[in-house]
Chains A and B, each alone.
Chain A
Amino acid sequence: MEYFLTEEEQMMIETARNVAIEKVKPIREHYDEKEEFPWEIVKEFAQADLCGVYIPEEYGGFGKGIMGLVLVVEELCKVDGAIALTLAATALGTLPILIAGNEAQKNKYLPDIASGKKLAAFGLTEAGAGSDATGMSTTAVKEGDYYILNGTKCFITNGGEAETYTIFAKTNPLRGARGISCFILEKGMKGFDFGKKEKKMGIKASSTRELIFDNCKVHKDQLLGKEGHGLMIVQATLDNSRPGVAAQALGIAAGALDEAVAYARKRVQFGQPIASFQGIQHMLADMATEVEAARALLYATARMIDSNVGKPEKEKKRTSKESAMAKLLCSETAMKVTTNAVQIFGGYGYSREYPVEKMMRDAKITTLYEGTSQIQKNEIALNLIKESAAKNK
């Protein structure tokens, strides 16, 4: 399919592909098996300038928007969906600063993230607050020039490894959704510690940890946006970051499809390659069509988001619905395609000797984090109803 990518977009893909094939592929089983954090590859991402593609040039990035992020994440995830998450989850943790940060905050944090010197993480989820973020119990109580944070976040990607954290806490528990605020925290702050590391089904190279705040004193300069605007920052962040998860899912799916086609041509049963059987052919045809449809929706969504850059607030299009659609379709496609890839590999597909079982395990998370598929459907439906109501006033 032709997506009319610019020359620089093609260069981003090429750069990412080189790193994925030369550096990531040889060590992907090791990190999956050992569940270690892939710092050696983070350095490769940094050296290849892949960490800051979506960050504006004035802060040391390449200014290639969400489309840039999507292309890089997709390409890396064709080879490994977990290691690329170091970069994608950093984008999630960085977006609140890009969206709501003042100049001082942007200048302080973005250049080191763009260069790949530091990773970031996003802290919203708690044990009792998953799909319902307003149910969080972490509090930030103002005392003079400081906020005192108490509480525990869980399932935080890049937890313990990142230097920069965007953390959500209740500054006014009585005001519900309007009582949540966002802060920038740094690793090593007094009262900020790391807890349990999750043992997961997939994305094992990625670190998923608890963040513990015990009377952690945060200066008011670290508040992102206004007090009480935290949930608005969450929504705006997810509108921009869900295409990143979608790209991860799409990359995994595309990688599994490539593996399945190659294997079907090579594997001989009943005296002929299994690719000559129509049953296998139809499965491959469905997989390829699903991957391409998912890609088309994702790229169109990313372009729509990027078209808002530089426009006055009033003229910006809301993209919550499209972002949710792209994430829903790409992640569900990833699950279907990787499951079918394992099916085509047969018993070998279930073996860790071949890469497709890992792809299936890695794919599953994309239907869960940054909103489950069901939450995406809520978002899409809510927007449909709002749009209809606006038309039929």
Chain B
Amino acid sequence: MNIIVCIKQVPNTTDVKIDSETGRLKREGVESIVNPFDEYAIEEAVRLKEKNPGSKVTVITMGPPQAESVLRDALSKGADEGVLVCDRAFGGADTLATAYALSMAIKHLGNFDVIFCGKQATDGDTAQVGPGIAEMLDIAHVAYVKKINNISDKSITVERLMEDGYDVIESSLPVLMTVVKEINIPRLPSLKGKINSKKAVIKTLTAVDIGADEKRIGLNGSPTQVKKVFTPTQKTVEGEKFVGEPDVVASAIVAKFQEIGIV
């Protein structure tokens, strides 16, 4: 079974500074870590591999050369291969361009049965890239998976976390799943994993390698453009107070609702 895990490098802090000029996160001088939700994706992929001998886990990330460190981190926890999708042309990508680039990289890698992503990244919090990749690969996806019940050569049964319980979903393979923290407890890196990850060669793929359309990557391929980042000023509006007998007040309120078009 070929398993792919898409991970992201995020700043290890909750108080991220924002560049007032560009409106983007300031990543300089902040320690980077694997997006915490992706840790569950890595763990679930490694568990799936352990249950299906002969399987292989490939972790993939798009980012600057430094993003190699999160791939090595995943290797120390049991992943087999790391792939860094890295090119200046990818810079400034929004979730659409990122999903496109990753889907092209995954197509380039070829064979895959299952793709795991964390449910969202802790910096952008969009939760769009995982499902976006699945759409571009034209495969099924299930978001917010909290348990894999069963997997065979052709299909998979999973539990999807909902606000009021969970759905049991059966899907064909290949499938992309985004996972929630309820799915497992990620392991700590082992000594063997650490030693191997240090020695491992990380494969780097450029825009040309994956045959990406230059109009669909980086800033060019990003319809989301950050204009400005600001904290909205709080508006204070004078309210209107209705006082008196209940029936009088009630009709006054209804009249007001009609006046402003609510009812």
- Minimum CB–CB distance from B191 to chain A (whole Å) comes to 4
Distance between Cα atoms of A106 and B192 in the complex (Å): 22
Which of A12-20, A80-88, A149-157 makes up part of the contact surface? Answer: A12-20
Distance between Cα atoms of A48 and B190 in the complex (Å): 4
Distance between Cα atoms of A332 and B193 in the complex (Å): 37
A53 neighbours in B (Cβ, 8 Å):
191
* Residue in A7, A47, A48 with the greatest tally of chain B CB atoms within 10 Å: A48
B189 to A7, Cβ gap below 8 A? no
B189 to A18, Cβ gap below 8 A? yes
A62 to B191, Cβ gap below 8 A? yes
**Is A315 an interface position by the 8 A CB rule?**
no
A48 neighbours in B (Cβ, 8 Å):
188-191
Q: Mark A36-69, 1 if CB is under 8 A from B, else 0.
A: 0000000010011110010000000010000000
B188 to A8, Cβ gap below 8 A? no
**Is B198 an interface position by the 8 A CB rule?**
yes
Q: Which of B187, B188, B191 contacts A12 (CB 8 A)?
A: B191
* Residue in A11, A18, A44 with the greatest tally of chain B CB atoms within 10 Å: A11
- Minimum CB–CB distance from B188 to chain A (whole Å) comes to 5
Q: Which of A7, A15, A44 contacts B191 (CB 8 A)?
A: A15
**Is A23 an interface position by the 8 A CB rule?**
yes
A49 neighbours in B (Cβ, 8 Å):
190-193
**Is B181 an interface position by the 8 A CB rule?**
no
A47 to B190, Cβ gap below 8 A? yes
**Is A22 an interface position by the 8 A CB rule?**
yes
Q: Mark B182-206, 1 if CB is under 8 A from A, else 0.
A: 0000011111111100100000000
Number of interface residues of A (CB under 8 A): 17
A15 to B198, Cβ gap below 8 A? no
Q: Which of B188, B192, B195 contacts A22 (CB 8 A)?
A: B188
- Main SS class of interface, A: helix
A19 to B188, Cβ gap below 8 A? yes
Number of interface residues of B (CB under 8 A): 10
- Give the residue name and chain of the B residue nearest to A52 (CB): B191
A18 to B191, Cβ gap below 8 A? no
B188 to A23, Cβ gap below 8 A? yes
B187 neighbours in A (Cβ, 8 Å):
47
- Give the residue name and chain of the B residue nearest to A48 (CB): B190
Distance between Cα atoms of A47 and B188 in the complex (Å): 8
A50 to B191, Cβ gap below 8 A? yes
Distance between Cα atoms of A22 and B185 in the complex (Å): 12
A44 neighbours in B (Cβ, 8 Å):
188
Distance between Cα atoms of A48 and B191 in the complex (Å): 6
A11 to B194, Cβ gap below 8 A? yes
A7 neighbours in B (Cβ, 8 Å):
198
B191 neighbours in A (Cβ, 8 Å):
11-12, 15, 48-50, 53, 62
B195 to A18, Cβ gap below 8 A? no
A14 to B194, Cβ gap below 8 A? yes
- Give the residue name and chain of the A residue nearest to B193 (CB): A49
* In the complex, chain B residues 25-80 whose Cβ is within 8 Å of any chain A Cβ: none
- Minimum CB–CB distance from A345 to chain B (whole Å) comes to 30
Distance between Cα atoms of A50 and B195 in the complex (Å): 13
- Could you name 11 residue pairs across A and B whose Cβ atoms are closer than 8 Å? A8-B195, A11-B194, A15-B188, A15-B190, A15-B191, A47-B187, A47-B190, A48-B188, A48-B189, A48-B191, A49-B193
Which 4 residue pairs across A and B have the least CB separation, nearest first?
A: A49-B191, A11-B194, A49-B190, A18-B188
